[in-house]
Structure 1
Amino acid sequence: MRPLARLKPLLRLSRACKQHQRFLSTTTEPANAWTSTLAALTKPRKPAKEIPTFKPPPSARQICADPIAALTASQLTQLDPTGARTRLFSRKNPEVARVGDVLLVRLKNGDPFAGVCLNIRRRGIDTGILLRGQLTRVGVEMWYKVYSPNVEGIEVVQRREKRARRARLYYMRMPKHDMGSVENIVRQYQRKRAALGTGGSKSKDSAKKNNTKRGRK
């Protein structure tokens, strides 16, 4: 145990000797080394380069508070300049198209399609209607985008007598409630429109004939 007890003072002596050696070595250094170190420490440093800073860009809220509303408004002015389709499916309009009405959709590229409106999905520019009709005695359902450039026009052929109590008339797919073909209703609607148009043209033709007869006389 005694040799171990003598180990601590020996370590202390060794540490003291090391510190003393360091002190003696520094004192024996030449004076030029001290002057060089002092000059390096007292030498004025170069000024730091200024980092260029840029102003933050203006926030989007200041330019446009509601970008989605602005985008929908700009698209509606392009796709529906007259606003007829917006009024046709606006809830504020008393003559709005509702579910259960028979609608006729005219397309620029394709045949027109008529059917009962089962669902109206109002989502701004993405507003669409679901029509159910029959082609070759087979029930067919078609989704149409109201503001699509391919849609030339939407007309209400026949309105439902009583207002539907549901927002989606999917029960009309059942044979019990299915309306079937709507061709007869569409034909009657087209005949009425044609009669009104031909009546006006006949009156114009008769007026022209009377004017020519008066000129001859």
Structure 2
Amino acid sequence: MASNLCAIRPLARLKPLIRHQRCIKLRQRAYATQQTIPNQGQPPPPPQAATLEKAHHSMRRITLKPPPPAMYNKCPSPVETFEASQIAALDPIGSRTKLFSRSNPDAVKVGDILLVRTRSGDPFAGVCINIRRQGVDTAILLRGQLTRVGVEMWYKIYSPNVEGIEVVQRRAKRARRARLYYMRKPKHDIGSVENIVRQYQRQKAALGSSDVKGRDANAHKKKNNKRGRN
């Protein structure tokens, strides 16, 4: 066993020596192939600086633009301004907005009987049991009767299909609820409001006819005065 160890030992020491010699030869070749720049009065620039100058000349300058102005300063609440512009276009006079605004003491309230006239159908009258105030989507829920059957209709007050909304009768006392859904029960259901609507229309027609007669009478008096002067 001792003779075998002695034979292996010198071979193990030769491997690192061979590797070291290979590294020395590679370094000598690198030094020999390196080119030297001749001096022309000025010392040559270092290789890193030259590469940086070439990269600087080859790079294209990027034009920086200022950031756009913030929209919050111009329009802090875009949804509200958009809804206001839509309401101004659909209701230029502002009569319907005033009729359903909370600040108006004479505004429509739940429990009032309303008459809605539309372009694509007959007018519908009923008790207002709900008012949904949502800007442009403000709507009212009316409950009436057709052929002795309870019917409920939603109407958007700013819809172009709605020609007019009239208050037929006000509620005697203020309702203590925001939604009068209990009127769907037979115990609290008012029923048909046709008689109330007819009476309202007769009163309206009578007031209109009296105004017309008064104008005609004044015109007749003016004609008589002109004849007397002549």
Same fold (TM > 0.5): yes
1:114 to 125, 135, 140: 125
1:65 equivalenced with 2:76 (yes/no): yes
Structure 1 gap segments, 5+ residues each: none
Instruction: After TM superposition, list the pairs within 5 Å mapping 1:3-82 onto structure 2.
Output: 9-29=13-33, 34-35=35-36, 41=47, 42=50, 44-45=53-54, 47=57, 48-82=59-93
Shift of 1:78: 1.2
Which of 198, 220, 223 aligns to 1:209? It is 220
Aligned residues with identical type, % of pairs: 54
The 1:5/1:178 distance shift into structure 2, 3 A limit, reads farther
Structure 2 vs 1, CA of residues 204 and 51 (structure 1 numbering), >3 Å: closer, same or farther?
same
* RMSD of aligned alpha carbons: 2.6
Distance 1:160 1:117 in 2: 10
Cα offset, 1:98, TM superposition: 0.7
Q: How far apart in 2 are the matches of 1:161 and 1:6?
A: 122
Task: Please name the residue that 1:154 is paired with.
Answer: 165
CA distance in 1, matches of 2:158, 2:200: 24
Query: What do the CA deviations read for 1:39-78 (whole angstroms, capped 9, x no partner)?
Result: 9934751512201222221111122121122112211211
1:144 aligns with 2:155: yes
Query: Within 5 Å, which residues of 2 pair with 1:82-97?
Result: 82-97=93-108
Distance (whole Å) between structure 2 residues aligned to residue 179 and residue 191 of structure 1 = 22
* Structure 2: unaligned runs, 5 residues or longer: 38-43
* Cα 1:7–1:129 shift into 2, 3 Å: farther
Instruction: Say which SS state the counterpart of residue 68 (structure 1) adopts.
Output: helix
Q: Which residue of 2 aligns with 1:168?
A: 179
Residues 6 and 196 (structure 1 numbering): CA distance in 2 closer, same or farther, change over 3 Å? farther
Q: TM-score, normalised by structure 1?
A: 0.86
Cα separation, partners in 2 of 1:93 and 1:6, compared to 1, 3 Å = farther
- Cα deviation for residue 177 of structure 1 reads 1.1
Matched length: 213
Q: Secondary structure of the residue that 1:185 maps to in structure 2?
A: helix
Which protein has the larger Cα radius of gyration, Structure 1 or Structure 2?
2
Q: CA deviation at 1:208?
A: 2.9
For residue 180 of structure 1, report the CA deviation from its aligned partner: 0.9
**Distance in 2 between the 1:27 and 1:52 partners?**
45
TM, length-normalised to structure 2: 0.82
Q: 1:24 to 1:181 in 2, by over 3 A?
A: same
Task: Give the corresponding residue for 1:135.
Answer: 146
